[in-house]
Structure 1
Amino acid sequence: MPASSENPIPSGLKVFISCPEAMMIGEFIFGGLVWILVASSKIPDPRLQGWLMFVSVFCFVITTCLFTFYMCGVQGCSSSWTGVDVIYHFFAALLYISAAIMEVRDTHLFLSIPELYAYNISASVFAFLATFLYTIHAIISIRRWKSAS
């Protein structure tokens, strides 16, 4: 069977050791930390907190679903999963960079409350780390998608 007809996304336990699928573990961890920290902090603008919660929960759930699908081998049924992987990770990187920038922008409001300031700084750092992982994953996925086509 030619290499171009095989799906380049691994299945089963191979997702834990293949790049970029193994990066989903970091995306899952950092996204979960952002979710926890934003939920436990107080942000004066409820719309901002809602956006941060939406981004972190949405990406956490979709990343978990994709990782589970890849482990179960769903991507073996269709070659369109490489495109789904690219689109999702590019979109998630855009969502996370917007959330990280908004979190940093409003963190200065908590300078007088050290505990809240620490939560918001931590959420900002983890949001930027999640952005980095999603971006790297998207770039590697684009390269894999182009080489598979």
Structure 2
Amino acid sequence: MAANTAQHMGNLPSGMGICTTIPDIFYIPELVFGGVTWALVASNLVQPANPLGWVMFVSIFCFVMTFLWMIIFACGGHRNSSSWATADFAYHGIAAFFYLSSSVSLAFVTITISLSPFISSSAVLRIYRIDIAAVVFSFLSTLLYFLHTIFSAMRWKSF
């Protein structure tokens, strides 16, 4: 039984091993792109509040949870690897879904701004350009979380 547990523990790395294995190598880019999305949306006029509030919630929630998740894995806090592999797959699947929904909302708001008759004014053009950058980084974050979900599912199925 102990050998079986040790074999499964090898599938979930800890320490610096999370920087060298797939899907755990995605933690740092997820944090970077999610943090940039958060900063770009926060630096802008949050109007309309409802869709952009959702984007802010998703980017902050995923940034904090991914950071905590990475710290748990780095410190070796995952002892029961099959349940941690399941939780890793579930979290990243939910995060990918959240990011996809917020990315679509952000893209919709950005398209709405582009249809504004005041787009030629410098203030609106600045907001529009920042929103375009936020949409790009939000969709990149969605892609990273989606890839992490796929590779986490493959790891989970290997148990």
Secondary structure in 2 aligned to 1:18?
Answer: coil
Change (3 A) 1:65 1:16: same
Residue of structure 1 equivalent to 2:88: 85
Conservation of the 8 A alpha-carbon contact between 2:8 and 2:81: no
Describe how 1:1-149 pairs up with structure 2 within 5 A. Answer: 1-2=3-4, 5-7=7-9, 8-111=11-114, 112=119, 113-148=124-159
Please identify the structure whose Cα radius of gyration is greater.
2
Give the unaligned 5+ runs of structure 1: none
Conservation of the 8 A alpha-carbon contact between 2:46 and 2:52: yes
CA RMSD of aligned residues (A): 1.5
Conservation of the 8 A alpha-carbon contact between 2:52 and 2:105: no
Give the TM-score normalised by the residue count of structure 2.
0.88
Rounded Cα–Cα distance in structure 2 between residues aligned with 1:35 and 1:63: 14
Give the TM-score normalised by the residue count of structure 1.
0.93
| Identity value in percent | 38
Secondary structure in 1 aligned to 2:79?
Answer: helix
Conservation of the 8 A alpha-carbon contact between 2:13 and 2:73: yes
Rounded Cα–Cα distance in structure 1 between residues aligned with 2:139 and 2:39: 15
Which amino acid in structure 2 is aligned with residue 52 of structure 1?
Answer: V
Rounded Cα–Cα distance in structure 2 between residues aligned with 1:17 and 1:4: 19
Q: How many residues align?
A: 148
Segment drifting more, 103-112 vs 53-62 = 103-112
